[in-house]
Amino acid sequence: MNIKYLKPALAGLAISLLMTACTTTKAPPTVFLPHKTISAIGYGTVEKSDRYSRSQIKLMAMRASKMDAYRSLAEQLNGIQLRGQTAVENMQVTHDSYQVYLNAYLRGARVKRTSPIGSDIYAGDDTFETVVELDLTPRFYECINGSSELINQCLQQNPESPAPSFDQNPPKVSSINPGCNAIDCYSYPNTKGFNRK
């Protein structure tokens, strides 16, 4: 081995390593996400019953339309999980059921309007329409695509209050009677699995 050639080769290698350390790397291009407002409409009605006053029926219909609007808004943002099952016996469908699972946290969503629709002498004014909106700001995109620590930070309203946490398992819902659509025989499903700690 010739040492005379080894020293310049090592010196050249050292210089090339030092020069490589001095090079600059380009930062990834900054993507500017647009400020966007999405809206959703929800509808709600309640069957007339002697168990509830006219005011209670209106308030329940307004609440139902608001929840339907929030559900529609959450579907636009996160999508839904849909599971279905159909039982067939003797070439006839005997049982058909679907489960929809949606888990979303809508901070900043606001109700724009709640108003009665279909106010005629037959339908009354017990059907309501609610419009909700949510601004998708650059901060929203950061929070939605960030690490779990950033997401928890975004969910906190103020630093002293703990962030709500959600279980990743779908909620368990007790079965309801699909043949009954009246408010008198409808027992609200018992939903478990959403944890706000």
Q: What is the pLDDT of residues 38-57, one digit of tens each?
A: 999 999 888 878 888 888 88
For residue range 168-194, list pLDDT tens digits in order. 555 554 444 444 444 444 444 444 444
Alpha-carbon gap, residue 164 to 188, rounded angstroms = 24
| Tens-binned pLDDT, residue by residue, of the chain (197 aa) | 567 777 777 777 777 777 766 666 676 766 666 788 899 999 988 887 888 888 888 899 999 999 999 989 988 887 777 788 888 888 888 887 877 777 676 778 899 999 998 765 555 668 899 999 998 887 777 777 777 787 777 777 544 444 445 455 555 544 444 444 444 444 444 444 444 44
Q: Which residues contact 171 (CB under 8 A, 6 or more apart)?
A: 101, 191, 192, 193, 194
128 SS3 class: strand
Average pLDDT over the chain, rounded to an integer:
73
